[in-house]
Amino acid sequence: MADDAVWQSFDDLVVTPITQHAALSFDLNYKIPCTVQYARVDMELRWPTRVMNPINRDIFQKFCDLTANRRCYQTSSVVPVQRNEVFNSDCVVALDAEFVSLAEDDSIDLASAVAASTAKPSVLSVGRVTAVRGNGHLTDTLLMDEYVVARDKVANHLTEFSGIRPGDLSANLSLKRLDTLKSVYVRLRYLVDSGVHFIGHGIHTDFRILNIRVPADQIIDTVQLYRLPDQRLISLKFLSWYFLGNHIQHLHGHDSAEDALTALRLYNLYEKYRSMAYADLNNSCGSGCTFVDLLAQMYELGRSLQWKVPPPQNP
């Protein structure tokens, strides 16, 4: 067996790479093999084994809206998938996810854990996923905007950062568009497998916590587009104020729909101006200004403001 063989550990929804030694050694105190599968190294050459994806676009019509009856008087802002709508590598979708912190296992002896400096870190779970169409005749419309029903006890809704409030993820109390984790995952999986390009601010982190693997060439992260080498990462709030003239996360905190749309607009601006002169974009930059020059000006202003966005001026 090749020493560089790639092994993966599947533990519920968590998939992690492991060493060959860890994969082939078994400590019967905690790991018991149940299935061993062998395959010919030339099987693909002898018999094509390409797997046909069982997920199709119909999945967008079969989602679980757990609070539909309770929200009968509300109008959904999500635009249903159209009959002639196609998802492929030409499609762009802006995505933002919000997370909550789950309760720690009550069976853990916290006193002993703290004494041993091995306190269990909080576990993040997805609470809301929003996807905005980035091109086509439905540009800027919501493709998905789902709150995810909590399967475990939520220790902290992290409202300041997520915009999610107590009760939003409860199947008994929520007035939000509530869906199951599986339903949300399957739709995201379909978009990934269809070759859709995803735009987001810190979107690598979102997919990592969501535990969904997305090919690198399908991810466009605005936190990297608007960053100078070896410099700090800039918040979406600051970029929105500086480049778009918009105050986001101002009155009601974070909103994943607002954040996804803002990331999309920042990407469109980046595409429009990255290889052009910038006098029209920022008069103070001067003729022949480059995108790097604009970023340098932003960093200079950001430092002087300690990266705090000035409050909006009253009209």
Q: What is the 3-state secondary structure (H, E, C) of the chain?
A: CCCCCCEEEEECCEEEEECHHHHHCCCCCCCCCCCCCCCCCCHHHHCCCCCCCCCCHHHHHCCCCCCCCCCCCCCCCECCCCCCCCCCCCCEEEEEEEEEEECCCCCCCHHHHHHCCCCCCCEEEEEEEEEEECCCCCCCCEEEEEEECCCCCEEECCHHHHCCCCCCCCCCCCCCCEECHHHHHHHHHHHHHCCCEEEECCHHHHHHHHCCCCCHHHEEEHHHHCCCCCCCCCCHHHHHHHHHCCCCCCCCCCCHHHHHHHHHHHHHHHHHHCCCCCCCCCHHHCCCCCHHHHHHHHHHHHHHCCCCCCCCCCC
* Burial class, 239, CB count within 10 angstroms (exposed 0-12 / middle 13-18 / buried 19+): buried
The pLDDT of residue 35: 77
Share of residues in the chain with pLDDT > 70 (%): 83
**Whether the predicted pLDDT of 78 surpasses 70:** yes
Contact 17, 6 (CB under 8 A): yes
The pLDDT of residue 194: 93
The pLDDT of residue 72: 65
pTM of the model: 0.77
For the chain, give the mean pLDDT.
Answer: 83
| 260-298 pLDDT per residue, tens | 999 999 999 999 887 665 445 454 565 567 888 889 999
CA-closest candidate to residue 128, choices 234, 248, 259, 15: 259
Contact 239, 270 (CB under 8 A): no
**Whether the predicted pLDDT of 43 surpasses 70:** yes
Share of residues in the chain with pLDDT > 90 (%): 46
Alpha carbons 292 and 270: distance in angstroms, whole number: 11
Residues 6+ apart with CB under 8 A from 205: none
The pLDDT of residue 138: 94
